[in-house]
Structure 1
Amino acid sequence: MDPETQFLPKKYTNDLTQGSVSVSAPSNIALVKYWGKKENQIPANPSVSFTLSHCKTITTLAFAEKNNDGSFSFELLFDGRPKDDFKPKIEKFFERIQAYVPFLKKYHFTIDTRNTFPHSSGIASSASGMAALAVALMQVERQLSPEINDDYFYRKASFLARLGSGSACRSVRGDVVIWGAHADFPESSDSYGLAFPHPIHDNFRQYQDTILLVDKGKKEVSSTVGHDLMHGHPFAAQRFSQAHHNLSRLSVVLQNGNLEDFVSILESEALTLHAMMMTSMPYYILMKPHTLEIINRIWAFRKHTGIPVCFTLDAGANVHVLYPENVSVEVLDFIKTELVGYCENGQYICDTIGHGAELI
Structure 2
Amino acid sequence: MVHLNGLSAVLALASLTAAQCGSGNPDAKVTGGGNSFTATRGSTNLYSGSDYRLAIQRAVDSIGEGQRVSVMASGNIGASTITITSGKTFEGCGTITAAIKSGAGAIEVTNQASVSIPYLTMAGSTYFGLRFSGTRNLTLGQINFNLDRGMGIRFDRDRAANTNVRMDTITCNGGTSHCVETWNIDKLSVGSVIGRNVGECGLLIQKVTNARIGSVDCENCATGTGYAALRFANEAGKLNGAYNTNIYVDRVRARGGGRGIFCVSQSGGAEIASIDVANTGNNAILLENCYNVNIKGGTVSGGGEVRLAARSEFANSRDIAITLRVDGTSVRESPCTVNKTKWNLSGNGRRNICT
With the shorter chain as reference, the TM-score category is: under 0.3
What TM-score do the two structures reach when normalised by structure 1?
Answer: 0.25
Task: Name whichever structure is richer in strand by fraction.
Answer: 2
Task: Name whichever structure is richer in helix by fraction.
Answer: 1
The structure with higher relative contact order (CA 8 Å, sep 6+) is: 1
What TM-score do the two structures reach when normalised by structure 2?
Answer: 0.26
